[in-house]
Chains A and B, each alone.
Chain A
């Protein structure tokens, strides 16, 4: 079930295993921006996760800059069509964005609850997406060491784009060179 670096597609910027910064030894995934702004994606190649309609991504996340948002991608069709949940530290708050035909729009945002993330620190987070009542729903939760803390109400998109599902993964959003994000102990559920 576990794969490796080569079992993921890494789009934009650079991707590497970092043996100096991690949660679980010996390494983590490091995504570094090489231009401004940049959308960094790391999507699983797992056959069972190529067309997820509903699913969950769990990951330890870390960023070097408040402007470089750790992100979770789902319903991915191509570089111009997908959903992304991104965590913006200055709020702190999180967004559900939709990128359709290359145009990004914010579906909604929620302030973080009982959690003030700071840069250069790992946090265990999970993003859940599913279809219910004809809407696409997204939820972000933070693990406080004993339980999952829901980060405000779920956000929904009545348009429920790409209902046949798509690819999923992690990465960073709006990174500017040379900022970076780290990801460790990543799980895909579906």
Chain B
């Protein structure tokens, strides 16, 4: 029975989300609203979008279950036990996740 030749690795695919660009848009009351776009999309107040490559989760409302889901996703992306606060996102995320030039950190509603 013949044996196969030696091979070299061509593709290694972990099927992981692409490295996210994290931007924050709103801080309402004590609860931050996040979205992590790979393109610039208008995000209405109360909506959040998490991007992982070409997949998007669109979350409306900020009920407890939604908050928990956001927490879990952010913790996974963040690699931390606790979800980042708005301040942490602003102070810590920016140096590591250079936002696209057309994305600006704002704390006011989308106006366009």
A and B: interacting chains:
yes
Closest B residue by C-beta to A26: B76
State whether the Cβ of B11 lies closer than 8 Å to any Cβ in chain A. Answer: yes
Once A and B bind, how many residue pairs between them come within 8 Å at the CB atom? 104
Contacts of B7 in A (CB 8 A): 54-56, 189-190
Q: Which of B40-48, B51-59, B98-106 contacts A (4 or more CB under 8 A)?
A: B51-59
Contacts of A28 in B (CB 8 A): 15
Q: Which of A5, A6, A24, A187 contacts B11 (CB 8 A)?
A: A187
Q: Give 1 or 0 for each of B9-50: 1 = CB within 8 Å of chain A CB.
A: 111111111100000000000000000000000000000000
Q: For the complex, count residues of A whose C-beta is within 8 A of B.
A: 42
Q: Is the CB of A46 within 8 A of B10?
A: yes
A147 to chain B, nearest CB (A): 16
The DSSP consensus for interface residues of chain B is: loop
Q: For the complex, count residues of B whose C-beta is within 8 A of A.
A: 24
> Measured between alpha carbons, how far is A78 from B10 in the docked complex, in Å?
21
> Measured between alpha carbons, how far is A22 from B13 in the docked complex, in Å?
13
A residues within 8 Å of B by Cβ? 1-8, 16-17, 19, 22, 24-29, 44, 46, 48-49, 54-56, 128-130, 132-133, 137, 139, 153-154, 183-190
B residues within 8 Å of A by Cβ? 1-5, 7-18, 52-55, 73, 76-77
